Chain A
């Protein structure tokens, strides 16, 4: 990873889940493990609060998470990927957003820790994806 002075903005994280509670819980956990210095935005559930994903929520989350260093997005299940991709097609700064293929909770924690340490957007996305290979037992 590329170390950066801590004065530069950290990479932002967007957690896209079918469940608002799951997205917010994962954001809470990742924030606590990483020390609370990274912007993590939860985009969970549909616009009317049901299980599902919302393009509008994802779009707002991307804007809130963008601090200048880019945003890494973690989807929970397959159709969240479709929603994120649909948003990115029309998103003005799509080049500054990376969609990570990673386990949701572990990826969120690993990505946020690397972002807190000053990692760049590629290092943060890589940390999320590497989470797939880390055994917990």
Chain B
């Protein structure tokens, strides 16, 4: 039996990468076609890049639509994720030990925003002081010491 279902929600936080990922992973487990709409744009909810491309932000109204045999369950699940995952601190790091090769657990406290919204990862060593370089010095930087 096929059905269609639709529900809206007002976001309590921005739809960043991890909430978008949680949404797409959940959507991918349903048979129904599922879409997410915000700000006049619609994305396939199973496409994480499409969902991120919506650029949905806090306070924005988002609509989840589904068509297929499990449409109702899909919409309920995704609305639940949108409700929880966009809260500040609502989506803790879920990467458990041993699940990800060579990927240490993500620590939000080690990340911070710079004003233009780009991610910035703290440098592991102090940034060089440009004042130490004499003016008009000729500095050659070898980017590639060997071929690829």
Q: Given A117-B46, A130-B47, verify A33-B146 contact (CB < 8 Å).
A: no
Task: Specify which chain B residues have a CB less than 8 angstroms from the CB of A116 in the assembled complex.
Answer: 21, 25, 28
Is A28 within 8 A of B106, CB to CB? yes
User: What B residues does A65 contact at CB under 8 A?
Assistant: 101
Closest A residue by C-beta to B48 = A113
Which of A24, A35, A40 is close to B22, meaning CB atoms less than 8 Å apart?
Answer: A35
Chain A proximity of B112: nearest CB distance (Å): 16
- A33 CB to nearest B CB, Å: 3
Q: Which of chain A's residues have a CB closer than 8 A to the CB of B47?
A: 110, 127, 130, 134
Whether the Cβ atoms of A77 and B148 lie closer than 8 Å is yes
B148–A79 contact, CB under 8 A? yes
Known contacts A40-B103, A77-B148, A117-B46; decide if A35 and B28 are in contact (CB<8 Å).
no
**A-B CB pair tally, cutoff 8 Å:** 120
Q: What is the CA–CA distance of A23 and B142 in the complex, to the nearest angstrom? A: 21
Whether A50 sits at the interface, judged by CB under 8 Å, is: yes
Q: Would you call B104 an interface residue if the criterion is a C-beta within 8 Å of the partner chain's C-beta atoms?
A: yes
Determine if B49 and A109 form an interchain contact, defined as CB atoms under 8 angstroms apart: yes
* Chain B at the A interface: SS class: loop
- Tell me the bound Cα distance from A119 to B30 in angstroms: 11
B79-113 residues at the A interface, CB under 8 angstroms:
93-96, 99-104, 106
Cβ of B31 under 8 Å from chain A: yes
Name the residue of chain B whose CB is nearest to the CB of A114. Answer: B28
In the bound complex, what is the Cα–Cα distance between A131 and B144 (angstroms)?
28
User: When the two chains form the complex, which single residue of B48, B102, B145, B148 contacts A33, counting CB atoms closer than 8 Å?
Assistant: B48
Q: Are A36 and B100 in contact (CB under 8 A)?
A: yes
Which bucket holds chain A's interface residue count?
35 or more
Cα distance A51–B28 in the bound complex, in angstroms: 36
Chain A residues with Cβ below 8 Å from B100 are: 27-28, 31, 36, 38-40
A contact set with B: CB distance below 8 Å: 1, 3, 6, 18, 24, 27-29, 31-42, 46, 50-53, 64-65, 77, 79-80, 106, 109-110, 113-114, 116-119, 127, 130-131, 134-136
A–B Cβ pairs within 8 angstroms, 8 of them: A27-B100, A28-B106, A33-B48, A40-B102, A116-B21, A117-B29, A131-B49, A134-B49
Extra pairs beyond A3-B31, A109-B21, A110-B48 (19, CB < 8 Å): A1-B28, A6-B29, A27-B103, A28-B100, A31-B95, A31-B99, A32-B18, A32-B106, A34-B25, A36-B99, A38-B99, A41-B101, A52-B146, A110-B49, A114-B28, A116-B28, A117-B28, A118-B28, A136-B53
Chain B residues in the interface with A (C-beta under 8 A): 17-18, 20-22, 24-31, 46-50, 52-53, 93-96, 99-104, 106, 144-148
